[in-house]
Amino acid sequence: MTMTRAPRATSGGRRAAGCLPGLLLVLAVTACSAADRATSPEEVRELASGTQAQEARKTAEDYRRNTVRAYDRDTPLTLGLVTVTDTCIGGAAREWFFPTDDDRYRIHCDLRITAYYGADPKRIGDVLDGILTAGDHDVSASSPGPIPFEHGGPLVDYYRGKGPNPTGPGTPEPARLSTPGQTLSWDTLRSSRATPVAESGPCPPDDPPVTRCLREPASATVAGLRKQYGMVFALELSASDYYTVLRDS
């Protein structure tokens, strides 16, 4: 009796069948990495150029510029220099280990404005009193204004030579007022070692809308303001995450 054997599978057929799971794994990994990759520079620029980002940027900047003008208008300070740094950055690739939360967003944008003012150091008590008086008005108004600092301690008396150091004996000269989103600092006047307001840093490369850096006027310097007026105050205003798009949005 003659027996017929079924043909054996070729080695090529075995290889093709064996490669299929591996191919699926490669495709799955590729798809996963596409969903979890860092935001590309092209996507960052596209999102930063969008209508929502532009509106959020304008609102954040207008509000802080109004605050800058209020100090110039309502206090004894004289505005001399404004710097604006506005940066949008993309999210990081998905962080499976040691997360920093930088992978939670596709883009987020920060705005920082610093205004520098000149003042007469011989009238420092009156200058601070004027700032705090403006703050008293703004804080107590039915619609609070942009100046949040008010009377409530011996700071003015200290600078007029009529009271002790508000932070206690032997402590550094108090040359700073701070609240969330706003910090006002000034050149020290009563310390043995002067601590002046620092010169504004250099601008990063200007590449709007991803990176914007303004200096108004371009020729002004902190040293120049100090030479003209005698001392310098710096008002730092920040708007962290004025525009954010989460990864799952």
Q: What angle do CA 30, 34, 36 make, to 5 degrees?
A: 115
Q: What is the pLDDT of residues 117-165, one digit of tens each?
A: 999 999 999 999 999 999 999 999 999 999 999 998 899 999 999 999 9
CA proximity to 146, closest of 113, 105, 124: 113
Asked if 70 and 234 count as a contact pair (C-beta separation under 8 A), the reply is no
pLDDT in tens, 59-71: 999 999 999 999 9
Q: What are phi and psi of 98, to 5 degrees?
A: 50, 60
Residue pLDDT, tens place only, 191-246: 888 999 999 988 888 899 999 999 999 999 999 999 999 999 999 999 878 999 99
- pLDDT level of residue 14 (50, 70, 90 thresholds): very low
- Contact between 147 and 183 (Cβ < 8 Å): no
**Closest to 77 (Cα-Cα) out of 36, 24, 135, 34:** 135
Task: Tell me the CA distances in angstroms from 249 to 41, 44, 104, 199, 202, one per residue in order.
Answer: 18, 14, 10, 40, 35
Query: Which residue pairs from 92-95 have beta carbons closer than 8 angstroms and sit at least 24 positions apart in sequence?
Result: 92/38, 93/36, 93/37, 93/38, 94/35, 94/36, 94/37
Reduced to 3 states (helix: H, G, I; strand: E, B; else coil), residue 149 is: coil
Examine the pLDDT at 249 and tell me if it is beyond 70. Answer: no
Q: What count of other Cβ atoms lies within 10 Å of the Cβ of residue 108?
A: 22
Q: 181 with 97: CB under 8 angstroms?
A: no
Does residue 96 have a pLDDT over 90?
A: no
Work out the pLDDT band at 99, boundaries 50, 70, 90.
low
pLDDT in tens, 102-115: 678 899 999 999 99
147 contact partners, CB below 8 Å, separation of at least 6: 67, 70, 71, 74, 75, 131, 134, 135, 138, 139
